[in-house]
């Protein structure tokens, strides 16, 4: 049995080379890629997310841990997609900062943490119009859209996107919002499916919105 | 925004394209009683301007910003604060912004502001000590006569302390900016940080530095009102906590997001009243 506790510790401490090595060793022992992902990487990121939420860790530590997670993920990725691997992502997530807004530090953090929770993440970047969100939705068929805005002046555009989705028959796609000026009340007012105050909460929200994907529950 | 800036548009480039509108806005704050006018250059570093396709305009935008603020002050005795905001990216090794690139961008903006005659530079809304330190060094290299270093805090999850998103607490920040050679330790903006919270943070600063302290909170937290985003704290509500901030030891007090000339006027009255009662200088 691989030492998942050690792998989680190394991930928490941001030791990318160690996480990569332990991932390879676990595979060499014959453990399935899905198990290594769930018991090692995702479980490790969950601890990071919890501590981030409670002011034990801050953005720098989370970013370093996410980099370690990615080092392990790079080893697993070719195997996870393979036929018969039996591993499905927790869900497909489409992320973007809304039109007119060029802020992306928080959004990028959410992308990394969502990946660490087993989501297939497609990051559109900043300054995204409703047309761009819709085109990417047709292309990637996401379960959840995560929209970000940093300014009180750009957050109203979130409603434009939500209304656009409802009007064009994409009402089944869940839409979550976040960013400094947004709030739970605002999310409710514009008809979003959810709001999270931080990156860790965003991942919890995405998991709730997809009804907890198979990978998300595996290590619970 | 009320003057017609499109959502998310590059407000700093208005220094060149609509200087009369920027001037009109800043004049209202001077008329309301402000002693310091901060230049409209928060996002006028090369890195931020590049996001709007204006990377080549750093000098022009910053120098115009100083000219406009000076004109807004007019005959009033006051100071032009050359504004430097965050670079909008995280420094290596956490993010992907190389230190040398950040340093170059900060030095370029700082020297443009100083050359145009800013009385002081205000480095604000910072969250990491690394970027704050680089900006202070850039301001010193540019020969700034006075350097204000201001950080943005948020309330912790359990509501018991204030900290920046990068994990910096007020006491540590105050000691750090003093050690790096800033002349004023400040705090501005932030989440869940109103005028009352400023008083608490100023007290933390006071325990760690003898530098003058400056506080510029938001007018409360934004709420949605009929589809429009509004900050709900009235000028009177905001100004009510000003005496506490001054008593805590702040030497400069102002306001950030959501505030209006009416907030500045209310703060002015509160400061004057505080002095009349024999406090302060």
Place of tokens 């120098």: B63
Return per-residue pLDDT of chain A as tens, 220 residues.
889 999 999 999 999 999 999 999 999 999 999 999 999 999 999 999 999 999 999 999 999 999 999 999 999 988 987 756 667 889 999 999 999 888 899 999 999 999 999 999 999 999 999 999 999 999 999 999 999 998 888 999 999 999 999 999 998 999 999 998 898 999 999 999 999 999 999 999 999 999 964 443 333 3
Judged by a CB distance cut-off of 8 A, whether residue B8 touches chain A is yes
Residue A98 is given by DSSP the state B
Instruction: Give dist(CA B8, CA B5) in Å, integer.
Output: 8
Q: Which residues in chain B are contacts of A99 at CB distance < 8 A?
A: 7-8
Residue with tokens 């959004």: A107
The predicted structure's pLDDT at residue A84: 60
Q: Which CATH number fits domain B11-276: 3.20.20.330, 3.30.230.10, 3.30.450.20, 3.30.450.30?
A: 3.20.20.330
What's the confidence (pLDDT) of residue B4?
73
Q: Residue B80: exposed, middle, or buried by beta-carbon count in 10 A (0-12, 13-18, 19+)? A: buried
- Parallel, antiparallel, or unpaired: how do β-strands B147-151 and B36-38 relate? unpaired
pLDDT for A212: 66
Q: What pLDDT tens digit does each residue of chain B (281 aa) get? A: 677 777 777 899 999 999 999 999 999 999 999 999 999 999 999 999 998 899 999 999 999 999 999 999 999 999 999 999 999 999 998 888 999 999 999 999 999 999 999 999 999 999 999 999 999 999 999 999 999 999 999 999 999 999 999 999 999 999 999 999 999 999 999 888 999 999 999 999 999 999 999 999 998 877 767 666 777 789 999 999 999 999 999 999 999 988 999 999 999 999 999 999 987 55
| Chain A residues whose beta carbon lies within 8 Å of the beta carbon of residue B9 | 100
Tell me, what's the pLDDT at A80?
Answer: 84
Which pLDDT score, from 0 to 100, does residue B227 have? 65
Interface of B with A in 113-152 (CB under 8 A): 128
Which residue among B163, B166, B221 places its CB closest to the CB of A60? B166
- Tell which of B190, B229, B257 to mutate to test the A interface (max A CBs under 10 Å): B229
Among the partner residues A102, A152, A154, nearest to B222 by beta-carbon distance? A152
In terms of DSSP bridges, do strands B36-38 and B184-188 run parallel, antiparallel, or are they unpaired? unpaired
For B210-229, what is the HEC assignment?
Answer: CCCEEEECCCCCEEEECCEE
What are the residue boundaries of the structural domains of chain B, listed by start? 11-276
A193 touches chain B (CB under 8 A): no
Nearest CA in chain A to B229: A152
Q: Are strands A120-123 and B184-188 parallel, antiparallel or unpaired?
A: unpaired
- Cis peptide upstream of residue B93 (ω within 30 degrees of 0): yes
The reply to whether residue B167 touches residue A185, judged by beta carbons under 8 angstroms, is: no
**B74 min Cα distance to partner chain A (Å):** 30
């Amino acid at each position: 049995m691989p030492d998942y506790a050690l792998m989680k510790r190394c991930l928490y401490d941001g030791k990318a080379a160690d996480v990569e090595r332990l991932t390879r060793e676990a595979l060499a022992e014959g453990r399935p890629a899905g198990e290594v992902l769930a018991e090692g990487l995702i479980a490790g990121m969950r601890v990071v997310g919890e501590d981030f939420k409670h002011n034990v860790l801050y953005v720098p530590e989370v970013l370093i841990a996410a980099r370690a997670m990615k080092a392990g993920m790079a080893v697993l990725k070719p195997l996870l997609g393979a036929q018969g691997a039996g591993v499905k992502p927790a869900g497909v997530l489409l992320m973007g900062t809304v039109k007119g807004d060029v802020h992306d530090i928080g959004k990028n953090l959410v992308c990394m943490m969502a990946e660490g929770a087993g989501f297939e993440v497609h990051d559109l970047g900043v300054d995204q119009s409703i047309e761009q969100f819709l085109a990417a939705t047709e292309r990637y068929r996401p379960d959840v859209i995560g929209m970000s805005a940093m300014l009180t002046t750009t957050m109203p555009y979130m409603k434009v996107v939500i209304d656009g989705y409802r009007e064009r028959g994409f009402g089944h796609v869940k839409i979550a919002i976040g960013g400094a000026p947004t709030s739970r009340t605002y999310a409710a007012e514009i008809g979003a499916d959810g709001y999270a105050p931080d990156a860790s909460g965003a991942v919890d929200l995405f998991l709730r919105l997809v009804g907890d994907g198979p990978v998300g529950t595996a290590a619970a | 925004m009320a003057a017609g800036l499109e959502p998310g548009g590059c407000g700093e480039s208005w220094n060149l394209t609509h200087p009369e509108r920027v001037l009109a806005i800043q004049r209202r704050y001077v008329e309301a009683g402000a002693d310091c006018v901060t230049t409209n250059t928060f996002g006028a570093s090369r890195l931020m301007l590049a996001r709007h396709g204006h990377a080549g305009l750093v000098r022009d935008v910053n120098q115009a910003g100083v000219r406009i603020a000076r004109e807004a002050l007019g005959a009033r005795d006051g100071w032009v604060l050359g504004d430097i905001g965050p670079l909008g990216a995280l420094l290596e090794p956490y993010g992907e912004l190389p230190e040398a690139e950040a340093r170059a961008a900060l030095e370029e903006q700082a020297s443009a502001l100083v050359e145009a005659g800013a009385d002081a530079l205000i480095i604000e809304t910072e969250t990491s000590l690394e970027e704050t330190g680089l900006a202070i060094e850039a301001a010193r290299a540019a020969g700034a006569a006075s350097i204000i270093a201001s950080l943005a805090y948020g309330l912790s999850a359990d509501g018991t302390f204030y900290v920046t998103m990068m994990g910096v607490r007020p006491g540590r920040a105050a000691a750090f900016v003093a050690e790096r050679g800033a002349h004023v330790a400040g705090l501005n903006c932030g989440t869940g940080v109103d005028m009352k919270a400023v008083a608490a943070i100023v007290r933390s600063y006071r325990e760690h530095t003898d530098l003058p302290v400056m506080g510029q909170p938001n007018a409360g937290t934004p709420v949605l009102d009929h589809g429009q985003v509004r900050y709900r704290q009235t000028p009177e509500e905001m100004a009510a906590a000003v005496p506490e901030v001054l008593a805590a030891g702040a030497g400069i007090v102002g306001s950030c997001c959501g505030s209006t000339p009416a907030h500045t006027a209310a703060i002015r009255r509160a400061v004057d009243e505080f002095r009349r009662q024999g406090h302060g200088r």
